[in-house]
Chains A and B, each alone.
Chain A
Amino acid sequence: MKFRGGVHPSYHKDTAGLQIETLPLLHRYVVPIAQHLGAPGKVLVAKGDRVARWQPLSEPVGFVSVSVHAPTSGTVKQVAALPHPLGRPMLAVEIESDGEDRPWDGLAPPADWRTLDPAVLRRAIQAAGVVGLGGATFPTHVKLSPPAEKKIDLLVLNGAECEPYLTADHRVMLEQAAEVMEGLGLMMRVLGVTRACVGIESNKPDALEALRRACPADVAAEFMLLETKYPQGSEKHLIYALCGRRVPPGGLPMDVGCVVQNVGTAVACLEAVRDGLPMTERVATVTGAAINVPHNLRVRVGAPLLDVLAHCGGVTPDVGKVIFGGPMMGIGQFDLDVPLIKGTSGVLCLRDDEAARFEGGPCIRCGACVDACPMGLVPSAMGLIAERFRFEELGDWHVLDCIECGSCAYVCPSRRPLVQHFKRGKAEWRGILEERRAKSERDAKRAETAATA
C-alpha cells in the first residue's frame, strides 16, 4: 500500500557498490555513555583503569537503559563531559588504545538461539548493549518486550534505507544476508511471532534477492519491494506500506501488533547471542561530494570523526556541512572530535553550495508542504503559528505527530525552516502540557486539602 505524501529527493546512492571495509584500529576512542534513548548507564571505570575489548564501561540503570562497551583494549584516559554528536558535551569514557585489542575474559559463551528461552535472549541482547541501528537508537530489548496486553503478530524488518546517500544497510543486506535472516529468526523467537515482513525500497532489488536466498527454512518471512519514496523507512509508513495497518497518532507500532527492527540490529542481536559479543561496532557510510574517498566502513563505536574522515582521504576544501546520518534527518556537526556512536548510520560531507540554506521567506501558501507531509499535517499553517510563538495552538495542529522527516522543508519554495519550527514547537508544547498537568495536580491537591479541612 502506498502512503500519502512523501518526497523524491535525489538519492545519491553512489556508495552502494562499495564493499564494507573495516576501519583500522585507532589510537584513541571516545565512548559516550549515552548512545541510546533512555536513561544513560552508570559508569563502571575510572581514569587509569585498564580495559579489554568488549568490556562493559557502564551498566544499565533501569529497564530502558543499556551498557556501552570498550571498542578495544587500552587505558582509560579520562571520564568526562566530551563532545557528543547531539551537540552538547556529554559524559564519555576516553580510551587510549594499547594496540593489542585483547578481548575481555568475561564474555558470555557462544550459544544457539534456537534452544534458548526468549527471556534469556532478551537479557543477552540488553547485556550486549544492542540498540536500534536505524538512527533512533531505542534499546532493542525494550522493543522486543511488548507489554502483555499488546499482542504482537508481525515482526517488520526495515531494510528501506530511504535516506538519500546512505548505503550501510544495503551493504549489510548484501554481505551479511545470512546473518540478517538468522537475526530476524532470533527476534521472532524472542517475540514469539510466526510472521515477519521484510520491506526494501525498489532501488535495492539485489538486497531483497540476497535476503530471500539466505532465508533459513525455519524463518517464515515475506519479502516486499516497496516504492522508492522518502520516508518509506519511517516505522509508521513502513508498517502501512507492508500490511495496511495504521499506527494511531501518538501510538507505537505495537498498538497495531507490529514491531519494527532495522537489518543492522538483526545482525547485532545475532552476534550478541551466537558469539556473545556486545555491540561495539557498526557499519556507517562515509559519503558526499566533499569527501575524497567515499566508503562503507565498519567502524568501532567511539571512533573520532576526524580519524574516520582522514581514513576516507579527508574532506575537500569546499566542505560546508558534516552531517551524522542522512541529509533529511541527520545532525550537523561542528566539532571534528565527536565520536561515531551506535546511532551513526553515516557521515555525510556536503559541499558548501550543496548545503541547503533555510532563510525563511514569507509563506506563499503554495501547499507543497501539505502535499509532502506523510503524516497528514499542515506544515504551512503550523509554521506560521510557531513563527508567532503561539505554541499553545500547535497542539490542535497535532505537532506531536510530526516525525521531523523534513519533507516539508525540503519542498518549501520559500525555504522556511519548518522542521526547526516544529522541533522547537514540540518542545514548547510538551512544556505547556507538563505545566497544565502540574497545575491540575496542584488544584486537585488543593481541593483535597480544602475538603478535608
Chain B
Amino acid sequence: MLVPTVVLSGIGLLSGLGLALAARAFAVETDPRQDRITEALPGANCGGCGFAGCGDFAGAVVRGDAQPDGCPVCDQETRRLVAAIVGQTVQDRAPRVALILCQGGDDVAAKKYRYNGLASCASAALLGGGDKTCGAGCLGLGDCQRACAFGAVEMTPSGVARIIPARCTACGQCVAACPKDLIKLVPAEATIHVLCSNHDRGPAAKKACAVACLGCKKCEKSFAEDPRIKVADFLAYIDYEHAPDDPALAALCPTGSLVCSGAAAPAAERTS
C-alpha cells in the first residue's frame, strides 16, 4: 500500500514541477496592458470588433492596430477605461441598436417557389435570391439569429427575424450575416423606422408584400421643407442624423412599412 502511494505521489510531484518549470521557461511575454484591457472588455468574444475575440482585440489595441473604442459592444464607461489604459481619449458615441428592415412574414409576403434545402439564408439566397417574391425580403431561416452571441434575434411566428433591442449590443454580427443586407445599426433613441428594403415600383412591391413601402411619398410630403424622410428609388428612408419622432407620422403610411417606436410592432397589428 505504501509503495504505490509514494511512487504515485512522487510522479505527480515531479510532473507538477516539470510543468511549473516549463511555464517559466516558455512563458510568452505579454504587455500587462493587454491583460488589463481584456479584463475590462465584456468577454463575450462576439467578434463584433473584427478580431478573433476580446483578448485578440486587446492585443491589437496595445499594438495600435485597433482603435480603443473599437469594441462595439461595451458601454461608454468601458471605452473610456480601455482608452485610458493605452493613454488615449475617446469621443462619446450615441448607443446604437440593430434593426431588421423587413417585416414581410409568411402571412403578408408572397413566395415565388417552394424552397427545399438547407435551413440557412445564405444557402437559400443562392437559389434565385430566395423564395420570397420580394427581392429584398427576409428569408426567415435565421442566419442572423445564429450569428448573434447575445440572443438578441428572435424569429416571429410568421417567419421573419426581429431584434430584441434590450439585448442588442450593436456588435454588427447580424449585419454581416444577412445575405439580403436587411440589417442596419441605427441610433437607439430613434423611434420612427422604415421597415422595408424593397426598391420595386409600387404595384410590383404591393404584389410581393402587403407591408412593403410603395414609394408613395406620403411621408416625404409631410416634411416638405426639412427632408427627414426621403423617398429615393421607390423606397422611403430616414435620415437618422435628424430622425423624426412624431408618432403621427407612422399613421400616414398606407401599408405599415413605416413604423413608430424602436421595436417593430407586428405588421398585422398595424395594418388592421
Interface residues in chain A, defined as those with a beta carbon under 8 Å from any beta carbon in chain B: 86-88, 332, 334-335, 357-360, 389, 417, 420-421, 423-424, 427
On whether the beta carbons of B112 and A424 are closer than 8 Å, the reply is no
Q: Of the candidates A86, A88, A358, which one forms a contact with B117 in the assembled complex, judged by CB atoms under 8 Å apart?
A: A358
- A424 & B116 in contact (Cβ 8 Å cutoff): no
User: With the chains together, A334 CA to B132 CA distance in Å?
Assistant: 11
| Residues 89-101 of chain B, each 1 if its beta carbon lies under 8 Å from chain A, else 0 | 0000000000000
Q: Is the CB of A420 within 8 A of B129?
A: no
> Do residues B127 and A87 form an inter-chain contact, with CB atoms below 8 A?
yes
| Docked complex Cα distance between A335 and B133 (Å) | 11
**Can you list 5 A-B contacts with CB-CB less than 8 angstroms, sorted by A residue number?**
A332-B127, A334-B112, A358-B116, A420-B123, A424-B123
CB atoms of A87 and B129 under 8 A apart: yes
- The answer to whether A427 touches B116 (Cβ under 8 A) is no
Q: Can you add 11 more A-B contacts, CB < 8 Å, to A88-B129, A332-B127?
A: A86-B128, A87-B127, A87-B128, A88-B128, A334-B112, A335-B112, A358-B117, A360-B118, A389-B146, A420-B126, A424-B126
CB of A423 within 8 A of CB of B126, answer: yes
Is there an interface contact between A420 and B118, defined as CB atoms closer than 8 Å? yes
How many of chain B's residues touch chain A, expressed as a range?
Answer: 10 to 19
The residue that B126 contacts in the complex, of A335, A359, A389, A427, with Cβ under 8 A, is A427
Q: Which 5 A-B pairs have the closest CB atoms?
A: A87-B128, A334-B113, A424-B123, A417-B117, A420-B117
Q: Which of A86, A332, A423 is the most central at the interface, judged by chain B CB atoms within 10 Å of its CB?
A: A332
B186 located at the interface, meaning its Cβ lies under 8 Å from any Cβ of chain A in the complex? no
Q: How far is the CA of A420 from the CA of B127 in the complex (A)?
A: 10
Q: What's the Cα separation between A421 and B113 when bound, in Å?
A: 20
Q: Which residues of A contact B78 (CB under 8 A)?
A: none
User: How far apart sit A61 and B48, CA to CA, in the bound complex (Å)?
Assistant: 41
Q: How far is the CB of B80 from chain A (nearest CB, A)?
A: 29
Complex CA distance for A334 and B128, rounded to whole angstroms = 9
Assess whether B118 is in contact with A421, with CB atoms less than 8 Å apart: yes
Q: How far, in angstroms, from A360 to B127 measured CA to CA in the complex? A: 17
Query: Please, how many angstroms separate the alpha-carbon atoms of A360 and B141 in the complex?
Result: 15
A98 smallest CB distance to B (angstroms): 29
In the bound complex, residues from chain A placing their C-beta under 8 Å from that of B112 are 334-335
State the Cβ distance, A338 to closest chain B Cβ, in Å. Answer: 10
Given contacts A87-B128, A424-B126, contact A357 B116 (CB under 8 A): yes
Residues of B within 8 A of A417 (CB): 117-118
Nearest-neighbour CB distance to chain A for B94, whole angstroms, equals: 31
Q: Does B122 contact A (CB under 8 A)?
A: yes
Q: B120 contacts the other chain (Cβ, under 8 Å)?
A: yes
The smallest C-beta distance from B154 to any residue of chain A, in angstroms, reads 20
How many angstroms from the CA of A427 to the CA of B127 in the assembled complex?
Answer: 13
**A420 to B121, alpha carbons, bound, how many Å?**
12
Bound complex: CA A389 to CA B118 (Å)? 12
Q: Which residues of B contact A87 (CB under 8 A)?
A: 127-129
Contact with A along B77-119 (1 / 0, CB 8 A): 0000000000000000000000000000000000011001111
Which residue from chain B places its CB closest to the CB of A360 in the assembled complex? B118
Q: Flag if B128 contacts A424 (CB, 8 Å).
A: no
With most chain A CB atoms within 10 A of its CB, the pick from B120, B127, B128, B129 is B128
How far, in Å, is B61 (CB) from chain A's closest CB?
18
Closest to A335 in B: B112
Complex Cα distance A417/B115, Å?
12
Chain B residues whose C-beta falls within 8 Å of the C-beta of A358 in the assembled complex: 116-117
Closest residue of B by beta carbon distance from A428: B122
Q: Tell me how far the C-beta of B184 lies from the nearest C-beta in chain A, rounded to whole angstroms.
A: 22
Bound: A86/B122 CA distance, A: 16
Per the bound structure, the CA–CA distance linking A259 and B113 in Å amounts to: 39
Residues of B within 8 A of A360 (CB): 117-119
Complex CA distance for A334 and B119, rounded to whole angstroms: 19
Q: Which of A88, A357, A424 contacts B122 (CB 8 A)?
A: A424
**Inter-chain contacts of A421 with B (CB < 8 A):** 118, 123
B146: which A residues are within 8 A, CB to CB? Answer: 389
| A427 to B123 alpha-carbon distance, docked (Å) | 10
A362 and B146 CA atoms in complex are apart in Å by 19
CA distance A69 to B128 in the complex (A): 26
CA gap between A424 and B70 in the complex, in Å: 30
| Chain B proximity of A436: nearest CB distance (Å) | 15
CA distance A423 to B146 in the complex (A): 20
Q: How distant is the Cα of A335 from the Cα of B118 in the complex, in angstroms?
A: 21
Residues of A within 8 A of B119 (CB): 360
Enumerate chain B residues within 8 angstroms of A357, measured Cβ to Cβ: 116
Specify the chain A residue showing the minimal Cβ separation from B119: A360
Q: Contact string, B120-154, partner A, CB cutoff 8 A, digits 1/0?
A: 10110011110000000000000000100000000
The distance in angstroms between the C-alpha atoms of A332 and B126, with both chains bound, is 12
* Max chain B C-beta neighbours (<10 A), residue from A358, A360, A420: A420
By a CB distance below 8 angstroms, the chain A residues around B113 are: 332, 334
Of all chain A residues, which has the CB nearest B123?
A424
**What is the CA–CA distance of A332 and B128 in the complex, to the nearest angstrom?**
9
Q: Which residue of A lies closest to B131 (CB)?
A: A334
CA distance A417 to B123 in the complex (A): 11
**Distance, CA A389 to CA B120, complexed state (A):** 10
- The interface residues of chain B lying within 8 Å CB-to-CB of A389 are 146
A357–B146 CA distance with the chains assembled, in angstroms: 24
| Cα–Cα, bound, A421→B120 (Å) | 10
CA of A325 to CA of B113 in the docked complex: distance in angstroms?
Answer: 19
How far, in whole Å, are A120 and B113 apart by their CA atoms in the complex? 47
Question: In whole Å, how far is B110's beta carbon from the nearest beta carbon of chain A?
Answer: 12
- Rounded to whole angstroms, the CA-CA distance of A417 and B119 in the bound complex is 10
Q: How far is the CA of A452 from the CA of B122 in the complex (A)?
A: 44
- CB-defined contacts of B118 to chain A, threshold 8 Å: 360, 417, 420-421, 424
In the assembled complex, the CB of A406 is this many whole angstroms from the nearest CB of chain B, namely 13
Contact code string B145-165 (vs A, CB < 8 Å = 1, else 0): 010000000000000000000
B-side contacts of A88, CB under 8 Å? 128-129
For residue B116, which residue of chain A has the nearest CB? Answer: A357
**Least distance between B131 CB and chain A CB atoms (Å):** 8
Whole-angstrom distance between the alpha carbons of A359 and B118 in the complex? 8
Instruction: Determine the chain A residues whose CB is within 8 A of the CB of B126 once the complex forms.
Output: 420, 423-424, 427
Nearest A residue to B177 via CB reads A389
